[in-house]
Every structure is written in C-alpha cells, then in structure tokens.
A and B are shown apart, each in its own frame.
Chain A
C-alpha cells in the first residue's frame, strides 16, 4: 500500500512550504516531500515582489501598480494581484515579528553587501534598522575573513547612490575566528553561545570582545550594520545584546550565499509546517508517477473552471490523473498517493527544470529542456545557441524557462490542454518570468505557492 495523503507537495523551498501551508488551511492530510536543500539557504532572506519591470524600469516604488501591466504569461498575471496580497498576508501571519514591511504596499530600500540599494517588499526584523530611507548616520563593520562584505567600499557605494545619511565602513578581525574560510555558521555559533575566546592575555565572551572592538571605532553614528552573521536560532538576542552594549541600533546587511537570513526563514517556515500538522519527508526525491485516464465527467469542466475565476483555455474532454508518485529512498521505491499534487521543485538551480544536450555528431547545437518527474512540457528553442543572447546584461531566454500553466496553475501541454487534472505548479518551476532581473523571486514563489496549495486543498474538500 502507498503512503496516503490528501495533498502531496513536491519540493520544500519557499514555493513548496507556502503551498503546503495554504493547503493545510483547507484539508488535514498534507505532506511535503523534498529532496536536497532549497535555494533558501542561498537566498538573501528578503521577500522581493517586484523591483523592476521586465523591460528594466525601476527600481519600482510600488510593485502592485506594476503587476497589472505584466504580460499575460507572467505568473503574477496567472494568479492575479489579489492573490499576491493574500499570499503576503499569510506570510505575515506565519512570520509574525520576525519580518517587517507589512505596513505599506510600497517597496522598502535595503542596503546590500555590495553597497547597492535593493527594493523589496518584506525584510527580516534584523535588517529593519538599516533601511536606506532612514536618515540616521551609519557605521558599517566588515571582517577581514569575510571578504564578500567590504565595509568601506559598501559605504562608498551607498554614498555614491545618494543615500540621505553619512556612512562609514571599517574592517576588523573577528574575535575568535582564525581561518579565512570559516563558515558563516561558525561566526553565528560563536556569538550565539557567547563562547569564550582569548585575545592577548584576557579571556572574554565573543560578544564582549566584538563590542569592545567596534566601540573603539564608533563616533557619533546611531546605528551599526554588520554582515548577516549575528546568530542563528537566537539572532534577536544576539543583536539586542550588541545594541545594548554599544548604545546604538544594530542591523544586519543581507549577504550573498550561503545566507543565515535565508536559513532563519527556512526555520520559520518549517516550524510553521510543523504547527500546521504538515508531514514533512526530506532527503529523498520523487522520481516517477503512475497515472490513469479519467473521463470528462470526472474532471472539472470548462464551465466550472470559468466560474472559479476563469481559465482562458479549454479544459480537455478526457484527462490524465496522477494516481501515485514514487519516492526513491536510497534505492527503494516507496509509493505515495494523494488526491492532489503540487509541483514546487524549483528552476534550473533547484533541478526542477533540467537541460541537456540532445545533439548528434552532425548537429551539436540542439538541446532539450525538460521537467524530470512528470515530463511536463517546457517551451524552449531547439537550438541551444538561441537560449542565450550575447549581451550579458540582455534578457536571457533561459532565465524564463519553465512550465506554462492555466490560471489555476495547472501545467499545460504543448497543445494547450492540461497535462494532468490534479497537478499544480508553483515557484521557480514555472516559466514566463526572470526572477533575478525583475527581483521577484520570493514573491512569485509565495503567490503561486499560496494559490496552488489553496486550490489543491479546496479541491480535496469538493
């Protein structure tokens, strides 16, 4: 017998977690199966909805204004602007005090480790005191062993970008760190446990040692920004104790991968999954499926779909229904069955979409782009040289690779019919947008995860 659930979500990044959480609002038995770790570990922890339009206009002050003008194939257009708002509302509920930005629909401007200013919709509370719209003078503190954040350079970039405050950067040696490739988790652990360290002849806690180093450089700035390494499970406590000791506000500057704010967001989402009773199976991939053909009468008819918010494509007469999927547990095949499925396996990075050379000796240029579990249709040019454009900053076709879907996020075959009647897709596995250029990664994943999970959960009840 198979392991049975109502809704099975495949993939445990932002999109999959959100889908499972929203499905769990409608039905009891929700399972999330995820393989390797998601891009949350690399992502900045910021929740971008839309920073730039697809043609590069921006940074946008109000992302919601711009959503209306996106092309019809864009995932935001598929789900509609209201769904984006609802998804953010659920996110705010889940993250509580840990995230800020929900007081307004306009984008916040967050300084990043490179000294650029990034438009984003939600940001961790740890970053709140650092916003570029705040006019307090700022000291940025970098560390010799963390070259990704060059504080003096970042400060100079921020000033050049015209921020409304004075900013300075200093580079220090992090107390207690010797090796130049120490992991960010090592820094966080030192501070979180306040491990004792020896400097010269004295032994003190890591926090006290850091405070005394920074204090010596602090002039009249009223806030200090550190790279995002200030603790892990108890980051608030670490930040507050540094702020108290320094007598200023302390904030974190989001860093490139690997990223503690991303890991903390992952923890928040997984705690929420546990609270919502979602069963999580991780470390193993879904590799295959069994399906059956169902008669038209058993699938949603075009009318029903239209009444439900509208599909702009015909629902086909007969449809394929996924009966079960196969999970590969280190070589053993474990069947999992559910009524509804959500595919949230990520894009080319998450391996939800893959590409391969298909070329023969004569024609080496051909390639295929495919979705490996269900083999859902992924539109792409046959010639691999058409996947890229020469201009590195130009619009790269491959960045938009992914599934096409109807307005309920059900993947569509090449002929426009549904691939499966009980499968929905969410997050980076969807095509039609370039998250890196638009700054829309987490937002699209949240909104589409929310809608896919909600519809899957509702359909179980029907």
Chain B
C-alpha cells in the first residue's frame, strides 16, 4: 500500500485530541545543543540584519540579530519570555548564510520559535490551530487528493476563502493550490514502479508533499530524467520534510516526521541508494535542519547523502555534455524568468539552473536577482503576513516583468505560487525543462513513451 493511502503521520489536527499532545521541553534541549559558542561568536556586525527581507519592509520586526544571539543572551540573564516577534520571521534562512561569524542563526530561531509556541501560545487559540494546520499540510492533502475535483471546487469558492480568512486567518487573497487528479505515488504504483533495475546506480527519491499531491509532473520529470541516465529510482515511504513545521515552531510534529523520514531514507541508503530531492526546501531541511535539531540514528548519514536532484546528476554524470547536445523546440520552454529560492541559495545552488540551461539549444533562463520571493512556505498564507509577503515580493515581480520572458522558473513550490500570484505567469520546475531537453533529443523515444 502506498504511503499516500496510509499516512504515516497520523498526529495532525483532526486525528489528534488535545490530551494526546505531549508537550516538549524545548529549552533544556536547546541547552543540550549548546548554542553558547554560537552566541558568543556574534560580533554585532549586523550583516544578518541587512539580509533580512522582513526587517526591510516591516517596522515591527526586530531582525535576526535580536532573534538569535541577543535574545539568547537576554534569556540566560533574566528568565525572559521569548518575544512574540519570533513568529514574524519567515524562516527564509538568509541570515543564516549571511553571518560571517558562524552564528547558527536558523538553529537559534528554530529553537526559540518552538519554545515560544510551547510556552507562550495558547493551544486553544485560532493562531495555534491555523499554524498547526498549515504546518501539517501533509496530513490534510490526502483528503484533497482523494476527492481532487471536489476539493478544487470547494477551495475555489469565494465562501471558502472568506471562511478561511475569518475563521482560520488564512489570507483570501491567494488561490489555494490545486490538487492533481492523480498523485505521483498513484501514478508510480500504476506504472509498476521503477522501469530500470540497477544495483550500481540507484537513487531514493524524496518527492515531498507538493510534488506528490499538486505537481506530479515535476516528480514524473525527475523519474524520466534519472531513468534516461540509467538509474534505478526508488520511492520510499515518507512524511513531510518538516520545513513548514520548523517555520511554525511545531518542533514535535517535525520530530515525528523526521523520525519516519530518517528511518526510511537510512534504509534506502542501506540498499545502496543516494537520496535526491526535487524541492529545495526539502533538501535543505534534510541536509541542515535535521542534524541541527535531531539525532535519530542515521540522521547524519542521511543528511550527508542527500542531494539536490540536478546537482546529483551534475556531479555523477556528464550532464553538461548531455545538455550541450540537447535542444528544445517548444515555445513553452524558450525563455524563463528564473528565481533562485532562498533555500537553494543556502545550499550553494543559486547559479546552477542558469548555468545549465544556457547549454541547451533553444532555452534561456534569465536570473531575476537575489531578492526573496516573500512567501516562505506557510508564512505568506497567513492573513497577518500577506501584506509583508507581497511587499518583499515586489522586487522579484518587477524583475520578472522586466526580464525577457513571459513565464517563470524555480525549484520551490511556494516560491512558484508567489511568482504566479504576483505576475500571472505559468511557473515551471527546472526538472521539467531537463526532461523536455534530454528526452526530446533522445532519437528513439518520445517523452510520453517513457511513461
């Protein structure tokens, strides 16, 4: 039975009653993590603050230096509560990669946020449940996927969005994402799984929630591209990567998801596979946040063997040569306004897409600069953040409109929503372009026959 039919994480809202909820002791754990050397490393240069997209547009946000090392120090001196402004941080992690002095800002924010939610946010508040629901998209999505047409119809109704905003605090400005009529895992099962057996070249695909429920075309493109290079693709059971849970301070939900993922992915490693992800926030979470926050057996191993799907091919195959021979003759793939997601940037992947697509005859990706898209996962869905989110996105929208392209390209599902929302463009994932290039250029096969 596929994981889509039998969710492995059954602790989300709706299935979980209040008394089952085990409070976690975040703070002692944070001490275990020993954030002191990190805090001491801060020499107050404010580089983090000047990289924070929220502080640039929102007067009420005190910025990462305060959220991280300063608050940490305050806490130790005079048992103070975590400031509620921590919920205004979007978890874009730009401050983390900016700090020249190795202060683990995102680790500090994640633990502070978890402590705030645990100790200062009422478990009965609308905000708590709204956040919990957003964070646990993974447990709600199967419902939508079971009745995609009804779900799309219902979420598209104006009364639904009005209710969403009034009752749940989810902005009515955005269209909720559409569910695919067939999830990736359903397609995978129907197809009979992998088409190639190859003990020497094996990857385990972490598709995450969005590529499964909403954009299975991205996941299918990954399968086709990897099979093109002769890989055996495994699709292990998996839970949410945890990204939306970290961002909402739901560390205990994240812990459960991580435990499932680490054990499933570690088993895939045992089978000789490397792990690849198509979503930049999923790979970021597995690579950095898992080892920063948890220590299940195999966490480090899983983290250090997880790759961005394109980067993996680049290092293990002669991808550049293959693309140099490839061409695409399709208007839909001609020119793209490319946005590098913050979480790709944090992994040193910001230049990769533009570099590689330049090799393909007939395709060009124009970089729209290094600003943040502003949506940061669940952040921009909250009624109270919508305006900030759009203000941050303004620079990207303008650059997209100035770029010589009528469609967008990115690797992050929520950046993609924001790009579409701000410009009305169709947004594509890089793997779809690679699939078109590599498979179209394959003499004997058309893309559809690879199904």
Contacts and interface: CB of A to CB of B under 8 A. Distances in A.
A258 B311 contact: no
Contacts of B11: none
Contact of A36 (B100, B349, B394): B100
Contact of B288 (A37, A42, A257, A331): A331
Contacts of A39: 100
Closest 7 CB pairs of A and B: A284-B348, A330-B287, A331-B304, A258-B46, A185-B56, A283-B97, A258-B50
A225 B335 CA distance: 44
A133 interface: no
Interface string A349-378: 111000000000000000000000000000
A34 to B, nearest CB: 9
Given A3-B315, A350-B100, A42 B59 contact: no
B307 to A, nearest CB: 6
B66 interface: yes
B63 A181 contact: yes
B347 A263 contact: no
Given A281-B351, A331-B303, 20 more contacts: A3-B314, A36-B101, A36-B102, A41-B47, A41-B50, A177-B59, A185-B52, A193-B394, A279-B351, A283-B345, A284-B348, A329-B287, A329-B311, A329-B349, A331-B288, A331-B306, A332-B306, A332-B307, A333-B304, A351-B100
B5 interface: no
Contacts of A184: 50
B291 interface: yes
A203 interface: no
B197 interface: no
A349 B47 CA distance: 13
B314 A283 contact: no
Interface string A1-43: 1110000000000000000000000000000010011110110
A280 B66 CA distance: 30
Contact of B303 (A183, A330, A335): A330
A337 to B, nearest CB: 11
Contacts of A335: 315
A181 B62 contact: yes
B367 A274 contact: yes
Contacts of B395: 233
25 contacts: A2-B315, A36-B47, A37-B98, A37-B100, A39-B100, A41-B98, A178-B59, A179-B60, A184-B50, A185-B52, A185-B56, A186-B55, A188-B56, A258-B46, A258-B49, A258-B50, A274-B367, A279-B355, A283-B348, A284-B347, A329-B287, A329-B349, A330-B287, A331-B306, A332-B287
Contacts of A118: none
Contacts of A222: none
A282 interface: yes
B105 to A, nearest CB: 11
Interface of A: 1-3, 33, 36-39, 41-42, 177-179, 181-186, 188-189, 193, 233, 257-258, 263, 274, 279-284, 327, 329-335, 349-351
Interface size, B (range): 35 or more
Contacts of A189: 56-57
A103 B346 CA distance: 41
Interface in B179-229: none
Interface of B: 45-47, 49-52, 55-57, 59-60, 62-63, 66, 97-102, 284, 287-288, 291, 300, 303-307, 311, 314-318, 345-352, 355, 367, 394-395
Given A330-B284, A331-B303, A332-B304, A185 B55 contact: yes
A274 B52 CA distance: 23
A96 B57 CA distance: 30
A179 B367 contact: no
Contacts of B291: 331
Nearest to A351: B100
B315 A334 contact: yes
A3 B314 CA distance: 7
Contacts of B345: 282-283
Contacts of B57: 186, 189
Contacts of A329: 287, 311, 347-349
A299 to B, nearest CB: 29
A263 B62 contact: no
A283 B46 contact: no
Contacts of B66: 181
A280 B349 CA distance: 9
Which of A181, A188, A274, A330 lies at the interface centre, i.e. has the most chain B CB atoms within 10 A of its CB? Answer: A330
Contacts of B303: 330-331
Nearest to B302: A331
Contacts of A188: 56
A436 to B, nearest CB: 15
